[in-house]
Structure 1
C-alpha cells in the first residue's frame, strides 16, 4: 500500500476545497455545514449524510461559524478500491465512484455513531506506526463500506426526488426508532399510510431486499451488539428487543445466523 493511498481529515476549516490529485473523496458530513458545492451546484441540508465523489468533480464544503468539527473527509486511491477485500463489495459493483451521479447515504442515528467510530479509528491508525496497520485499515474500510452498502442505510442520489426513495427513507427511520416494539411490516406500512405490498415494492426497488429483511437486519445488529458488549442475560436482551420469550429469540437468532445467542457469546 502506497503512503498516500488513504488519507483522512476532519472538516475543520471554514471552507474545505478539493485538494490536487486523483483521490476519490468520501465526505461524512455530521452537522453544521452551510453548503456542499459540487461542480458549482450548491446543496443544502446535507447534515448526517455520506457523499461519494469521483475525482473528476470539483467540490467544496462550507462550514457554519462557531463549529469545531463537522465531520470527516476520507481520501481513497483507485488502488485501494481495487483491493480484493473491497473490490467485490456491492458498493463497488454499483460503481458509486464513477457513475454520472453523486451518490449519498442518509444515515440513521445508530449507524451515524458507528460510522464516526470507524472514521476516528482510521484517523488514529494513519497517525500510528503499529504492526499490521495496513491490514487493520483495510478491515476498517471494509466494515465502513458494509455499513454503507444498503443493508443498514439508504442509497440514493442527491438529485433524486423519487417518491419511492422518500418512502424507504421514512421506513428506515421508523424501523430505527421503533424496532424494539414492532417487528411486523404491516405496522410500518400503516404508519406510512400505504399497503405492506407497496412498501415491500418500494424497498425491493431501492435496496434490493424485502421490507422484512430490513427489520431482521436491524434486530440482528442490535442482538449481536448486546450479546457481545453487555452483561445482560439472554432473557433480558430478548425482552428488550421485543421478543415474546427467550426461546423465540433464540429460534429467531439461530435461524438467521446459524448459531444460538449463547454460542455467539462464547466466540
Structure 2
C-alpha cells in the first residue's frame, strides 16, 4: 500500500521566518530550504499563494485539475490537497506564510476567512489577471524580496503590511473579475460568507441546516434560499459537499478505515456514510482510495 499523503509544516530556514518567498524556474524548486517532494499530492499546515508568470503545467486542487495560465494567482489554504505539475518553461513565485504571521495571533484568524479565495471550498481559488494588473502584483513581490534580503529591524512588520496589501488587492480583483460578480454584490452575500466560515469551522460536528441557521439568527428556509441564490446549492447541499471533501482527504492522506472516517465526521452509521459517499462521488470509499492512489503509481 502506498504511503499516506504527506503534510508539510512551514519550510525551515536559518531565520525560521514565518513568511517566505521563492522564485521558481523550470520543473523544480531550486532551494535547499524548501524540502518538499512534490511528485504526489500533498497538503500544508500553512497558507500558500502560487503566482504564475508563465502558464506551463497543471495544478490539481482538491481533486479538480486546472490548467496553469500566465498572469494567474492560485490560493491554497491549510489542509487543501494539491499538486503542481510544472513544465520546463515554467516561471513563477511561491509565497508561504503562517496564519499567525498574517493575523499577529490566532485570535484574529477570521481576517483570513474574510478573503473569498481562502478557507472556502465552494469558490474557485484562482485569479486570472490582465497583464497590467498582474504587473502591479509583481511590483509588490519585488518589494517583498528586497525586504527579505534587507533583514531590517522592522522587516516582519513591513512584510506583513506588503502581504496584506497584496491579498487585499487580490480580493478587490477577485470581486471585479469574478464571473458571478452581481451575486457578490447581493445584500445577503455577507450572510452566505458567514455561513461558509461557520461551516468550515463546524462541519465535522454539525450536519444540520438548523444549527447554522440558529447561529446566524435566520430560519433554515431563509438560509437555504439565500445560499442557493448566491451559490446555486442549498445550505444542506454545501454541508454534504464539505463532508465528502473531507472524506476524500482522509481517504488519500490517512490509512483510516471507512468506519473510522465515518466516526471522524460524526456519522454514527458507517454504512450510511458509505452510501452517501457513493451517491455523491460515484465510488465507494474503498474504490475512490484505490483509484486515486493508482493515478500516482510509477
The two structures have a TM-score, normalised by structure 1, of: 0.50
Structure 1 gap segments, 5+ residues each: 157-164, 166-201, 210-267
Answer yes or no: is the 8 Å Cα contact 1:10–1:71 preserved in 2: yes
- Indicate the residue corresponding to 1:243 in structure 2: none
Structure 2 gap segments, 5+ residues each: 1-14, 30-37, 188-298
- RMSD of Structure 2 on Structure 1 (CA): 3.2
**Structure 1 residue 125 displacement after superposition:** 1.7
Separation in 2, partners of 1:74, 1:25: 6
Across the two proteins, how many residue pairs are aligned to each other?
Answer: 160
Answer yes or no: is the 8 Å Cα contact 2:102–2:160 preserved in 1: no
Equivalent in 17, 22, 42 of residue 9 of structure 1 = 22
Structural mapping, 1:135-174, within 5 Å: 135-150=157-172, 154=176, 156=178, 165=179
- Indicate the residue corresponding to 2:93 in structure 1: 72
Equivalent in 128, 132, 137 of residue 110 of structure 1 = 132
- Indicate the residue corresponding to 2:183 in structure 1: 205
Separation in 1, partners of 2:101, 2:182: 30
**Structure 1 residue 51 displacement after superposition:** 1.2
The two structures have a TM-score, normalised by structure 2, of: 0.46
CA offsets 1:37-64 (integer angstroms, 9 cap, x no match): 2244321143221111112123222222
SS at match of 1:148: helix
Answer yes or no: is the 8 Å Cα contact 2:48–2:97 preserved in 1: yes
Answer yes or no: is the 8 Å Cα contact 2:127–2:174 preserved in 1: no
- Indicate the residue corresponding to 2:76 in structure 1: 53
Structural mapping, 1:114-263, within 5 Å: 114-150=136-172, 154=176, 156=178, 165=179, 203-206=181-184
- Indicate the residue corresponding to 2:251 in structure 1: none
Separation in 2, partners of 1:88, 1:54: 12
